Structure 1
Amino acid sequence: MAGTRTEQNETTGQFHRGKVIGVTLAAALGGLLFGFDTSVINGAVNSIQSTFDLGVGVVGFTVAITLLGCAVGAWFAGQLADAWGRKIIMVIAAVLFTASSIGSGLAFAEWDLMGWRLIGGLAIGIASVIAPAYIGEVAPAKYRGALSSLQQLAITLGIFLALLSDAALAGFAGSASSELWFGLPAWRWMLLVGVVPALVYGILALTIPESPQYLVRKKRDDEALRVVRDVTGAADPEKRLGEIKESLEDARRASYRELRGTALGLQPILWVGIGMAAFQQLVGINAIFYYSTTLWQSVGFSEDDSFITSVITAVINVALTFVAIFFVDKVGRKKLLLAGSIGMFVGLVAASVAFSQATESGGDVHLGAPWGAIALVGANLFVIAFAATWGPVMWVVLGEVFPNKIRALGLGIATAFNWIFNFLVTLLFPVLSEAVGLGFVYAGFALFAALSFWFVKALLPEVTGLELEDKQKLARTK
């Protein structure tokens, strides 16, 4: 009998693992939209500039305006998710993203394109908050780090698919500006193809259960118990439900008053989340993924070689995310982040030195030997370090470090700051690159990589392996 009971428990555990992985993957597809839309503009930048006859500043704003929408969407996503539920917010994000892809691809003027990209940003900002919040609430503590890292894996896959589709469409047409199908140039199809992942995300969002924390908040305890029992696979579902209820005791829907604290008017843990979100962008990762094709062309690569180089970088980004998934629960969040800061610093310094050696001839900028190779190695070393650590682990930390009562709201605010700094980096990168040169810009990124090391070492608590309710107690001590 003992053997039979053990086999049943193992079967049940396996069944629960399958369930939780399935719903996690569905939620994490919001990250695919995140990565796809923010990077699909990469291959279209030069064509948009020539089509609408734009200056460098306006081009930067056209790329970056999506990120303003992301910040707004992220800021309000937590409140909406607490009021309406995680599932319905995911569906709303999918609808907005579908509309944005169609509108952007068919834009008839620059202001029209900006408007649709702003709407797409709202969708991405919402999805970027809801996915880690939902995964953090559904996943068991033992697997939470790896499952939460699937959000970043989806982001990297979205980046890869965007750059791959850009390269393929430009290849079919002959160039990004050449006509492809139905009289539309390839760059418009690059934007239109975003409808596909948006529809997939919306359909899958309809199939997953609501989070147990939201259900408890809404006094739907029977439904919450079913999710805890059938998805998370808790050994004692009733006890786990009691822990969730205790953590939400007397909890109304969180308001901004709950965020007040002793550290410059806010709870210290909120500043930790905001700092993590800011540093992830200030190291300059999206300067590579938004502008890499244009960047490599600017230093002498052909359009074809620039597209191929961008795709290779995206593949590296995807592959190294698996390192984080494998190690985040074994090594711990803090150690991975510290190692990542060191690796990013080394890669960025190498890229900075290489770009400082660029020469101009006849209006064209070139990187002579060996600096072109050093720039490539440095940039990809940076991507390797980021993809294996700060890319996924920052989202893991944001999804679990806040107390239950303010998790959705705190995550929304921290993510909004992530998008705000993303916007600033994206907007200023082409302007600063032209004004002071790529060498100084990458040196600035290297400085922020160094500062990120000291921030994590001094301020980030290690919460690997703790249940969310234990993290809540830890957060109150910080």
Structure 2
Amino acid sequence: MTIHNKPVMPKASTSYVLMLALVAAIGGFLFGFDTAVINGAVAALGKDFQAGSVATGFAVSSALLGSAVGAFFAGQLADRYGRVKTMIVAAIMFFISAVGSGIAFNIWDFMVWRLVGGVAVGAASVIAPAYIAEVSPAHLRGRLGSLQQLAIVTGIFIALLCDYFIAVAAGSAEAPFWFGVPAWRWMFWTEIPAAIAYAVGALRIPESPRYLVAQGREAEAASVLAKVLGGDVQAKVQEIRQTVLRERKPQLSDLVGRHGLLSIVWIGIGLSVLQQLVGINVIFYYSSVLWQAVGFSEKDSLWITVITSVTNIVTTLVAIAFVDKFGRKPLLILGSLGMTLTLGTLATTFGSAPLDAAGNPSLTGNSGIIALLAANLYVFCFGFSWGPVVWVMLGEMFNNRIRGAALSLAAAAQWIANFAVSTSFPPLKDVGLGFAYGLYTTAAAISLFFVLLLIKETKGKELEEMV
């Protein structure tokens, strides 16, 4: 009797998939770190460079212009040269920006270094969700995709924590720190280790199987898929080939239909823009200045920003736990409702507060506590919904043919919206904080109807099912 041994099929390795997602998410960590680290340095660099409020505001948001550029071109570069190579280039740019921002001689070259970092942030905002979506099994994709947002908010937290301890140790952000160098410069240099870790990590992970198939490297793609999915992956390779190679390589022109941009691209842009118009980054770029303006000390203001970033991390963990269980759309709806209520509370509190001699609202007694609670509840509502879920959806809502180009356009729109919100906050603050938060409340209300009317659930669908 002849015994025929069946070939042993490789088993899926969840730990391997997690490792790939974590390395890609270091880009998200640097994204959060780079955009938030300036929070503790805003006032100090303005004084050091004798810059006016307009120049200082532009210095804060100049990185966002670079982010729009990086996001716009990252998808094309990733489709041409690979996701991993694009990650390595981004890591190098993070490193250059961190060093340069700390040695800047005036406000103008500081803006240039921040612009370089912004390009890296924009690239990371596109590559990480795309790569994670492309290496994740469908049943894990929501949770693994949420790692991008967890990495972003962790980066924000670590940056603000570094700002706090450096400022406290030196006495203030303006005071000399190690080797007599002003403390605010050291704040930027704390980004260097993470940039190096990102480059080293990217060198050790494989390319996305969907990119490999597009390049005709199907044996390599099968090897990666075997570790990710387990079992016989040839059918999966064939399925990817049919969707990826159906037409020519992805181009921005693929996003245009008979009547302009494809509707799914507009929806992606809408998600991206609304994520910013609700004003979340005002909290993370200007919160220390904001809380000082309403009566808190520099030390207490920095500590409040740290507490807020911890809230953001905790709620992102909530999203990771439930995004594949409840789905994307329910979380977005709940988040929109919560943000509308909490932002409305902030608008009312700031708008009705008496003004001090400098024209800033004076929060005394219960009004200060109400504002702090509302701000942190707002971050909570954003953190379990629009923060992580938008990144998950942008990574999975587009089909394989247009994903790179569509993600780039949506992410570029997000950074332009971020820039608009960040640069407009200082003049809006002069008009009145109640008015500024009233605008963010309106955007949150619009986001609710946007989701109800236009968003389709993507939970549990394979990327090859997206049309």
Q: How far apart are the structure 2 equivalents of 1:341 and 1:235?
A: 41
- The corresponding residue for 1:354 is 349
1:251 positional shift = 2.8
Q: How far apart are the structure 2 equivalents of 1:248 and 1:57?
A: 47
- The corresponding residue for 1:229 is 226
Normalising by structure 1, we get a TM-score of 0.94
Q: Runs of 4+ in structure 1 displaced over 6 angstroms? A: none
1:427 paired with 2:427, answer: no
- The corresponding residue for 1:56 is 53
1:357 positional shift = 2.8
- The corresponding residue for 1:342 is 337
Q: Over residues 390-412 of structure 1, what are the superposed CA-to-partner deviations in whole Å (9 max), with x where a residue is unaligned? A: 00000000000011011011001
- The corresponding residue for 1:452 is 447
- The corresponding residue for 1:220 is 217
Deviates more, 1:254-263 or 1:276-285: 254-263
Q: Write the mapping of 1:153-172 to structure 2, written as runs, cut at 5 A.
A: 153-172=150-169
DSSP 3-state at the match of 1:360 = coil
Q: How far apart are the structure 1 equivalents of 2:366 and 2:52?
A: 32
The answer as to whether partners of 1:33 and 1:197 remain within 8 angstroms in 2 is yes
Q: How far apart are the structure 2 equivalents of 1:112 and 1:362?
A: 35
- The corresponding residue for 1:36 is 33
1:396 paired with 2:396, answer: no
1:301 paired with 2:300, answer: no
The answer as to whether partners of 1:299 and 1:358 remain within 8 angstroms in 2 is no
Q: CA RMSD, aligned part only?
A: 1.4
Segments of 5+ residues of structure 1 without an aligned counterpart are: 473-478
Aligned AA (2:297):
S
Q: Over residues 309-332 of structure 1, what are the superposed CA-to-partner deviations in whole Å (9 max), with x where a residue is unaligned? A: 000000000011011101000000
Q: Write the mapping of 1:24-423 to structure 2, written as runs, cut at 5 A.
A: 24-230=21-227, 232-263=228-259, 265-363=260-358, 365=360, 366-423=362-419
Q: How far apart are the structure 2 equivalents of 1:359 and 1:197?
A: 44
Q: Over residues 144-173 of structure 1, what are the superposed CA-to-partner deviations in whole Å (9 max), with x where a residue is unaligned? A: 000000000000000000000000000110
The number of residues matched between the two structures is: 460
Aligned AA (1:467):
E
The answer as to whether partners of 1:217 and 1:248 remain within 8 angstroms in 2 is yes
1:260 positional shift = 0.9
The answer as to whether partners of 1:300 and 1:364 remain within 8 angstroms in 2 is no
Q: How far apart are the structure 1 equivalents of 2:272 and 2:206?
A: 28
- The corresponding residue for 2:11 is 12
Normalising by structure 2, we get a TM-score of 0.97
Aligned AA (2:24):
A
1:132 positional shift = 0.3
Segments of 5+ residues of structure 2 without an aligned counterpart are: none
The answer as to whether partners of 1:56 and 1:431 remain within 8 angstroms in 2 is no
DSSP 3-state at the match of 1:404 = coil
Identity percentage over the alignment? Answer: 50
Q: How far apart are the structure 2 equivalents of 1:253 and 1:285?
A: 36
Q: How far apart are the structure 1 equivalents of 2:391 and 2:382?
A: 13
1:234 positional shift = 4.1
Q: How far apart are the structure 2 equivalents of 1:70 and 1:449?
A: 23
The answer as to whether partners of 1:216 and 1:224 remain within 8 angstroms in 2 is yes
1:236 positional shift = 3.1
Q: How far apart are the structure 1 equivalents of 2:170 and 2:265?
A: 48
Deviates more, 1:41-50 or 1:251-260: 251-260
1:12 positional shift = 3.0
